[in-house]
Structure 1
Amino acid sequence: MQKYTVKKFQRGSTLKLIFSVVRPKSDYADIVTEKINLDDLAEVIVIFKNSNNSNTSNPSTDLHISMKIKKKERARNFILPIKIVCDEFQEQLFCSDIWVENRIKVKSHDVSFALNGFSSSGYNKQETVLLYCFEINFTIQAKPATMPIGSILTNELYLDEEFTDFELQGTDGAVAVHRSILLAHSDMAKTMLRRVEWKESKNGCMQIDGATKNTLDHLKAYMYLGILPEESLEPLLLIAQCYLLDKLKTDCISKLVSTVKPQDIAGVVKFACENNMPDLMTAILFETPDNIVTSAYRVEIESRILNNN
């Protein structure tokens, strides 16, 4: 009998695992899953354990969940905080270079049914089988282990969720931040929050038009840790331009131009034109190598800049 099945659903930075666990009521052995990849940065082994052993006169049918988590080799130079959510259990763990086992406190719900089978001697018998379902969500965001000078405090603040006092609201969710960190980056936010009649000051929340929660997570990582994502820089660049975040704008343009691929250059130029970003156009014109932008294309870009198109 196969003792468990697992279905995986990836939504942004969150991996949802739905487990169905089946065991005969008389079987008290632990059920151990195979290694499961978490965003290709870590791996987890989930262990379903019986809460009582076979010597108990009235054994419980509850299962306890433990899990072993370890970094993969490619993530050795990253800090890996992993948020785990299972029913009412929520906890953030830090992934290590070695296997570390953690207990997950959840209530198991079993459904029992009778199963006809054959004993080892070949005689027909009935066995009570228990079925359990668990949903576990893992959210992981990698950060370089070597943090910028003076960032020990901001690193601690970045991981803090208890004492945040402001929210950035996106189209599909909100990201909690500290006002002091936000104000250090945005003069526009200072203006909004300085005046009590503004709704942002009253509500403790700022609506970031058109931004997804994933983009706001990237914005938070930049404000606290000074790091940018490897992809999806254009949405951050739009926020930087709209909310006058000059340093973020400069850093996004620099990284976007230095990492753009030949097949993507036309899309970046179109993005710059549609959003009136001459700084990005100029950077493409003067900072990209010849194997990325041809001479003829440079002439076209320069013409667009001169025409403010």
Structure 2
Amino acid sequence: MSNVIVKTQLCGPAVKIIFTVIKFSGHTCEFESEHITVDDLAVITVKSRYIDSNNVGFYMVIKKTENAKDVVSVDMTYEKAIQHFFCSDASVEVPITKKTPDTYISQNNTKVDLYTIEVIIAVHVIMPTSITLSTKELYKDTKSMDFNLQATDGTVPVHKSILFVHSQMFRTMLQGQWKETEQDSIKMPGETAQTLQHLKDYMYLGTIPEEGLEPLLLLAKRCLMDNLVTLCIDKLIESVTPETFDTLVEFGCQNNEPKLMKRLFQKILRFPDDIINSYATSRNDKEKSY
């Protein structure tokens, strides 16, 4: 006999899963949770596996949804360790380290084992490997590039076909009778050549920079590239510190970025000891210096 309680907390492209298992001595513990969908990209099922009368194994089955047409990248955080893997068409079974239970003795002297496991799953779509390999070759072939992105301080050449595949804005432009389409060039006011190069690197190579994420995020939003917007926000959240928190909040407010703001405050709630205490200390230090 056993009781299982599964709770989930959705955080955009991530979900926190907390499941508590109460197992009575001498009884098996086998269960399968209901399906948990993350950002309409992956479906997760939590299961247990009976090992022996004293031990229980836990694992997760993750499969991409029908709406996720490309490969899905998954990051699973469990007990401060991060596992990274990919989901294509087949499901992926991820074992969770066997958990040592808390043991109690009930009033009728029955041994009761209590397992509490917390896992954070983050998912996003990535370019298929076959596409990445072919676009790497195109990236080097500058002679065949037939379109220019004009920044305030330079020009970045690209292929029309790459713009068409990645951006709804460019797709609409290239299909219409726009002046830019006829001239094979478009002016991007307010953008630097570096930010346009970062955009190009993402479209051809599937990479995003370590720095310059804020302007790339705004450019991705302008070009209607939702996947790139999500990747930029993910990386900004991963790298935020108590010292950079204020600046990132100000950026989110000034540029009307509710997704970024939501993720920022979700991170505070998720890691209160690491972020809030350090943040409060840094704020006090700043105030004393004024």
Q: Which structure dedicates a bigger proportion of its chain to helix? A: 2
| Bigger Cα Rg | 1
Q: TM-score, normalised by structure 1?
A: 0.46
Q: TM-score, normalised by structure 2?
A: 0.49
